[in-house]
Amino acid sequence: MLASAATDPSHSLTLSYRKMILHLLYVVLFTILAALALGNLLRSLIRLSIESQYPRQRAVPHPELADPDGNPLDEPLLVMRSVNLEEARQQLDKLYGDDLES
């Protein structure tokens, strides 16, 4: 039975036909995906072009980062200074007093 199926020309045509259908399906799906990717690329380029011509106002992310008029602050938000060990101990003593000694 297997030997006759292997030599049967209609059986080989069926396999060839299936391979052709799978290849055609692959090409169609790849074409659809490529068209979607190109469409997305063009939409992004158009949006980028429009935004570069008409820039949006920069939104202030938090009220504490704006001055009383609502404009963003343009100053350093965190300033750190180096202290030596003795100055740090004095500040801690001033804050906590006798609590550190006990």
Terminal-to-terminal C-alpha distance of the chain: 97
**Three-class SS of residue 70?**
coil
CA 37 to chain centre: 17
Model confidence at 52, pLDDT cuts 50, 70, 90, reads confident
Q: For residues 95 and 45, give the distance between their C-alpha atoms in angstroms, rounded to a whole number.
A: 58
- pTM score of the predicted model: 0.44
Residue 6 has pLDDT above 60, yes or no: no
pLDDT tens digits, 29-49 = 999 999 999 999 999 999 999
Model confidence at 100, pLDDT cuts 50, 70, 90, reads low
